[in-house]
Amino acid sequence: MSQKVKINIKSLIYIFTIDDILYCEANSKGSTIHHIDKSIEHIDANINDLERKLNAYYFWRTDSKHLVNLNCLEEVADNSSELTLIDKSKIPIDKMRKRSLIEALNDFH
C-alpha cells in the first residue's frame, strides 16, 4: 500500500499518494503538483506550505519555485544548474541548494 499525505488548505483537504508526485511548482495562484502519470493538479497552497508537509517524505526544495521528490531523481550533473527526474523533466537548482542536496544524497538510501 502506497503512503499518502493529507494537506489541509483553507476549507479543502487534499490527499496525495507520495510515490505519484514527481515535483511541485509554485505559481501565481498557489502550486501545481506534477504526477508521474503526467497529470497535474492546481492547488491553493504556497510552496512553503508544501515543503513543510512533504519534507518528511524525501522532498527537496531546489529553488524558490520547485520541490522535487528525491525518489524520482535520475541525475544531478556537476556542470549543470538543473537536475533530471525519471520522466526526463529538467528542474532548476540553485548553486547553494545543489551543494546541500549532494550532501543529503550521500545519506539517502
Average pLDDT on 34-42 reads 94
Q: Could you give the CA distance from residue 7 to residue 3 in angstroms, rounded to a whole number?
A: 13
Task: Give the Cα-Cα-Cα angle 3, 75, 52 (nearest 5 degrees).
Answer: 40
What pLDDT score was predicted for residue 34?
A: 97
pTM of the predicted protein model: 0.89
> How does residue 1 score in pLDDT terms, banded at 50, 70 and 90?
low
Distances (CA, A) of 64 to 4, 23, 37, 42, 92: 25, 13, 24, 18, 10
Instruction: Answer whether residue 100 shows pLDDT above 80.
Output: yes
- Whichever domain contains 32, its CATH number is 2.40.50.1020
Q: Kindly report, residue by residue over 43-61, the tens digit of the pLDDT.
A: 988 999 999 999 989 899 9
Instruction: Kindly state the helix (H) or strand (E) to which residue 53 belongs, with its residue range.
Output: helix 47-54
Number of structural domains in the chain: 1
Containing domain of residue 10, as a range? Answer: 4-107
